[in-house]
Structure 1
Amino acid sequence: MKANTEAELGLAALGMGNYAVAEAHFRKALTAEPKDVHALMGMGILYQNTGQVTKAREMYEAILAIRPDASQQFVVWNTNNTRPVSEIASLNLALLESSGVAAGAKNGASGSPAGVAGAPTVAAMMGRAAPGAAVDASAPGVPSAPVMSVLSEGDTNIVTRFRIMRSLRDEGLITGEEYAKRRQANLGALLPLTSPPPAAGLDRPVPSNEQVAGRLRAIGRALEMRAMTVSQHAAERGIILDALMASAPVAVANPGQPPKGLMEAADAVRRLEALQAEGLVSSDEHARERAAIERALQAMPSAKPAAQTADAGGAATADKTASAPAAKGKGPQPAVHLASYKSRAAADRGWTELKRAHKDLLSALSAEVTTINLGPKGTFYRLNAGPLVDRNGAADLCGKLKRRRQYCEPTFLSGG
């Protein structure tokens, strides 16, 4: 029972992209029961998603060696639909043998059951690629040079997702209503000053338009041929689209902040102009965001220090409350900003999870939650951790966390 519980916790963490937490649960499950096929499957998917092909193959081969019968089912992500564990292991192993998930999405699935059974391999495609994975610049749906020349790698991945969604709409693979809903829910990724925060993780590497569209067509053919049920098709289709751009994000990114200087403001304007040139934002959206950038620029000379009640640019107020005993010392102390949440309870849970996932870096720090009122955007709870020796220490810690794909920016604790 303990092993099953650990495996389930691992699968839940894996579904949210928390690989370090997921791996810890899977290892506990396999220590208690080496033949737990759900833990083996979860570990195989984790290795496959992070590009560790040899280890992934070992997990799938172990499942097949156990020969689980048809009663051993694997739950398709966040639904009640299940498929035999051995079937999914066979499919994922076949995809690895045929050059991996991307090749499977591009070439596999002609409507046969084996081609559509592995919903976890779809999750492996969508936004959970190995760290450092490159965007296929030759594939359809990748931004053209004018946009890419002014965007960071993370922004380029965001733009790619919006272009893919638009292409799927134009090809009739999603409806106009679906496109509008998903775009609106994540518009903050393009227009951070005038739209609510988008789903977290949109800056992760993303497959090409050809891969996503090909997978949607494949499961559509499978449905027509009755190789999968309507509910199975809906579940897998939902996984693909939610991983690309969630319509109702469970976890949101940090709220967008006004530019902090003339150069940042100029970069923001160039980025905005490029987005409009690509047709990714409308004239009205462009005008509102441009006005917000200009207001931030005008406010810069009179902006209040971060230690006072005004947020950067004077655009928001903060009511600081500590979630851990305040560090000794007076005045603001160097710290790091790790995440933002929609509730205090979520921020407290987030700190527990982050401290567990990055124990070697965060165990000696204390948490402080800062309540930020962003007006129309709503209230958010920023999770900061510290104190650190100095600003350089905060920057160094952020560098280490970012290499683990954890958001981090230097900031200050309120002190006392």
Structure 2
Amino acid sequence: MAELHEHEILPTRAWVLHPDITSDRDRRDPVAGLEEAVALAEALPNLEVVGSEIVRLPKIQPGHLFGTGKIEELNQRMKAAEVELVLIDGPVSPVQQRNLEKEWKVKILDRTGLILEIFSDRARTREGVLQVEMAALSYQRTRLVRAWTHLERQRGGLGFVGGPGETQIEADRRAIDEQLVRLRRQLDKVVKTRELHRASRAKVPFPIVALVGYTNAGKSTFFNKVTGADVFAKDMLFATLDPTMRQLSIPNAHGGDREIILSDTVGFISKLPTQLVAAFRATLEEVLDADLILHVRDIAAEETEEQKEDVLKILHDLGIREDTPMFEVWNKIDLLPEEARAARLERAGREPNVFAISAVTGEGIDALLAAVSAWFEEDKIERDLVLPYAEGRKRAWLFEEGVVLNEEMTQDGYDLKVLWTPRQEKQFREMT
């Protein structure tokens, strides 16, 4: 065995448990659940998953989560595997966490803690980092049985998993609350800057097309393929955490080019911790403003229908307008067996606004982009408007957009005749 150099760090040995509560009405396929939990664990750097299993439970034990016999049985297996960290794919109360850590002599991390760790490791923008810190502090506030270390750290994980050179700092609620106030102040400044950026972007007369989808559906791979951008794309859950926007030229029906803004966003996941849905709402603003949403699905995944429902639910929770148009993009058709692939292609061909593609091979992408371009081939509508003299900003916007056909000044204000697209009319109506 090669000698370890002083600076080399051995990975933390982790065991993943997926509690399968048989009395749960919203129970999902436990095998798929465990696979996803293992993928989540593998998304963390310096973690080695040495074992994983489904633990069937008729009901949750309030004090220890699992029954005494199961706790002892798991203890034997994990001791033999020299486990240092147990990841439990579900909610674990502070009391259950403390009791299990005493029994097993290892660190325990529940699903929320694990996702927070991943978000911390992946967040790239200042706002993303602040949002994660705030979500983590809110989570930790209920768990003062744990030490938290990430406030002293410049980057990387949140300190739940542990690492070299970290000090264990005991924190009370007042310290957490003070830190939350400081973070909120910083976040307010960052959000104001983003609002200025958004306002300047709103002047760009290009429609925004947002990519959304379950995590690992292939959004970033698709984004890179069509824009040539080098966004971090890897077969890993939560590979992208901050939206990336690129201007993209796509052919229009008249032999020219149409400009759009394409936005890549964080992947969604089932049972996303509520504090993170709230925390990342600002990061998903581009989706709220989108003129067209492309819902990218991993059509080769066994749980593809359930994943679709999860994405639609989160979009609803985020407050996406009901009338926002959406295309379904069935990605990864190259991974399907021939018969299933043919059936999917045939079905996608029959359904409006459904497109089967492979972001890896490029199959189907041209047809999808042509449909996106055609979507914005809008018929223009003529309207008569009366604007009070006080509405000078709205009048200026109409002239900037080049939609004014005629203008007369009357006793009541500006009498305008405009010719515009439905998108421009919507933008105008939403102006305050």
**Higher-Rg member (1/2):** 2
More helix by share: 1
Q: TM class, shorter-chain normalised?
A: under 0.3
TM-score by length of 2: 0.26
TM-score by length of 1: 0.27
